[in-house]
């Protein structure tokens, strides 16, 4: 489509449905889902914890370039 992907996955209910966890315990699932989204081409992440997601994207970028 030619537009950047914007993804917001932080503590989403579908993560809780998969793991059967309350929203307060979905951080790991949220980071995992964000990692997959970035690997699949997401260019913008809507997040609550900016620093760890920035680090996540830096790691994914470094792995891509390896």
What are the DSSP calls for 1-58, one per residue?
--S--EE--TT-HHHHHHH---GGG-HHHHHHHHHHHHHTT--EE--S-HHHHHHHHH
pLDDT at position 24, please? 82
Cβ atoms 7, 37 nearer than 8 A: yes
Which backbone phi and psi does 38 adopt, to 5 degrees? -65, -40
Question: Is it the case that residue 45 has pLDDT exceeding 90?
Answer: yes
Tens digits of residue pLDDT in 3-39: 888 988 887 888 888 888 887 888 888 899 999 999 9
Q: How many CB atoms lie within 10 A of CB 18?
A: 11
Name the token pair of 29. 């699932």
Question: Is it the case that residue 42 has pLDDT exceeding 80?
Answer: yes
Rounded to two decimals, the pTM is 0.82
């Amino acid at each position: 489509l030619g537009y950047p992907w914007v993804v917001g996955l932080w503590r989403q209910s579908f993560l809780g449905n998969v793991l059967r966890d309350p929203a307060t315990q979905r951080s790991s699932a949220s980071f995992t889902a964000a990692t997959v989204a970035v690997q699949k081409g997401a260019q913008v992440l809507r997040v609550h914890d900016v620093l760890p997601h920035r680090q996540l994207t830096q790691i994914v970028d470094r792995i891509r370039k390896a």
